[in-house]
Amino acid sequence: MGVYTRFKKSPDGIRQLVELIESTPLSRRQKMIDVGMQEDPGYTQKALSYVLVFEDVLKLPDMELAEVLASIPGRFAGFAIWSQAEDVKNHFLSKAPLKAVGEIREVFEIKNVTPGQIGGAQMKLIEATRKLEKRGLVKTKRIET
Spell out the domains of the chain, with CATH numbers in brackets.
5-50 (no CATH), 54-134 (1.10.220.30)
Length of the chain: 145
What is the pLDDT confidence band of residue 2, given thresholds at 50, 70 and 90? confident
pLDDT tens-digit profile of 28-78? Answer: 889 989 999 999 999 999 999 999 999 999 999 999 999 999 999 999 999
pLDDT tens-digit profile of 126-137? Answer: 999 999 998 999
The residue among 50 and 2 whose pLDDT is bigger is 50
Return the axis-axis angle of helices 115-134 and 62-70, rounded to nearest 10°. Answer: 110
pLDDT tens-digit profile of 97-120? Answer: 999 999 999 999 999 999 999 999
The whole-number pLDDT of residue 145 equals 60
Tell me the mean pLDDT in the region 75-96.
96
End-to-end Cα distance, the chain: 23
Return the axis-axis angle of helices 115-134 and 13-23, rounded to nearest 10°. Answer: 160
Tell me the mean pLDDT in the region 70-92.
96
